[in-house]
Structure 1
């Protein structure tokens, strides 16, 4: 079983009901991200430090 299989996936409240979004879930040791159009597709998993750096870079 993959650590994100039963995760509580969330997407931005700004996304309306569209499917062009990134969903994120907190998983053991970090954060998982996936494309909302393809929930069975690839999942990227970041440790907490790298996720924080990624978000800071996008926000900056």
Structure 2
């Protein structure tokens, strides 16, 4: 018979890779949340600014 591919070592390597990938996705999601919060706070600061200036600053925020 051929070599067994589903060894405990192979599973642990795969599990480590999946955990690493999940941590990366969580970090990206957290960074996006921070950016969205920043955008919201900056947009609130611009509420009373002239519309042309406000639109230019909103483009800058993005």
TM class by smaller structure: under 0.3
TM-score normalized by the length of structure 2: 0.27
TM-score normalized by the length of structure 1: 0.27
Q: Name the one with the larger strand percent.
A: 1
